[in-house]
Amino acid sequence: MEIQPPYTSARAPIVEFIEFNGANFKTVNWKVPETSVYKGKIVYVHGFAEDSSLYVEFFDKLSTTGYEIFFFDQRGAGETSPGSLVGKTDEHHVFNDLDFMIKHTLDTRTDESEKIFLAGHSMGSGIILNYGIRGKYKDNVKGIAAIGPLIRLHPKTEPNVVLRVLAPVISKLVPNLKIDSKLNIDYVTSNVAWQDYIRVHSAKLIGTTRQFHDMFTRGAALLDPEYVGKFNPEIAVFVAHGTDDNINWIKGSEEFVALLKPNVDKKFVKIEGGRHSLAIEKAEIFAKFWEELVGFLDKH
């Protein structure tokens, strides 16, 4: 059954496919309209099992505000990796692919002073926060906006003890074994229209054992004081987390931000009543998140 997102834009993004390292990446580029003042470009890294359709409203509004969006379906997700390729990725490919996409963005600039931001959600936020520490092109990034980052899973979502203990072993023996995450869609957003869309569009949120292991390990690294202490102090950091997020624990975001050194320009925002996906929350919650995010981007 096909279902359309509960939002229709009057504008259409530019969709292109870019081949790199054995994958054909779907990219979606939301240009700033001529009626808006151009402010910079955002490379957006999506969350687990997400694709561009979830962000049509968010990106439409954000680009109208003056920020061009460059989005790509990651390896293992969306139209980049359909069918049997779903979930097939690992730590090396995640960061190698992101390096390529950022380099592509840098190479296509017509103005070298153009501001480049990284933004992302959930798993994607965990990726970009790590990028601020060990990313190849981190020195070219002006700011990072992390939304509901996967640092610590909420106790209501955390895998059972047996799976967590065996994950390192399973991921090595059968790295491409598919697992249904069985995420509770009610935890994703309180916006009923978006809940209904996700239930049909993403009936099963499936990943591989390697993918799960790597994203949980990646999140845990962001609680290591010595590692986080290496975060590039030239990158401004914005972290927004819903207080009612029962997928990723807000406590993890608090702990990470506290570990950043004092010389890092950082802002942590708790969005009251917000669930996991703040970009598709109901209007009154989204408005609080939107004001904080745009304020951060405009400031930097």
* Structure tokens given for 132: 């601020």
- Residue 79 and residue 103: Cα distance in Å, rounded? 22
User: Which residues share a beta bridge with 40?
Assistant: 67
Q: Is 245 a catalytic residue?
A: yes
Query: Of 185, 122, 140, nearest to 41 (Cα)?
Result: 140
H/E stretch holding 225 reads helix 225-228
CB 50 within 8 A of CB 77: yes
Range 117-152 burial, b when 16+ CB lie within 10 A, else e = bbbbbbbbbbbbbbbbbebebbebbbbbbbbbbbbb
What are the angstrom distances between the C-alpha of 71 and each of 31, 167, 196? 11, 30, 23
Catalytic residue among 51, 97, 245, 253: 245
Q: Is 276 a catalytic residue?
A: yes
For helices 209-221 and 91-107, what crossing angle results, to 10°?
70
Question: Angle at CA 159, nearest 5°, toward 154 and 238?
Answer: 35
- Residue 260 and residue 263: Cα distance in Å, rounded? 8
Pairing of strands 14-20, 116-121: unpaired
3-state secondary structure of 173: helix
Catalytic residue among 121, 213, 241, 276: 276
Q: Is 121 a catalytic residue?
A: no
Q: What is the CB neighbour count within 10 angstroms for residue 163?
A: 13
Catalytic residue among 122, 125, 253, 277: 122
Give catalytic residues, as residue numbers: 122, 245, 276
